[in-house]
Amino acid sequence: MIRIIVGKLLKVGTGALSVDEFESFLATEKAPNALTPAYPQGLYLSKVIYPFLDLPPRSSFSAILQNHSDAGWQPIK
């Protein structure tokens, strides 16, 4: 879905799609006829924020991932 939204925003930026048309795609539940997703290269999820939930950050989970070593992995022969 993010790639589709970015693809539409690229069309807005080039003038191929108006801001009003883009907003109408977001407001309606009907998918547009032609979906043109953006290429995945360069797109990544950096952060998800849910301000209405007010969740504390879970730094312990990311610390586990950062300290994890790949020593247990064996190459495929």
pLDDT of 73 reads 59
Phi then psi for residue 19, to 5 deg, are -65, -40
pLDDT, tens digit only, all 77 positions of the chain = 888 888 999 999 999 999 998 888 888 877 667 778 888 888 777 777 777 887 676 666 555 555 655 555 566 66
Given a contact cutoff of 8 angstroms between Cβ atoms, the answer to whether 3 and 43 are in contact is: yes
The residues spanned by each domain of the chain are: 1-43
List strand residue ranges (DSSP E) for 1-77, in order.
none
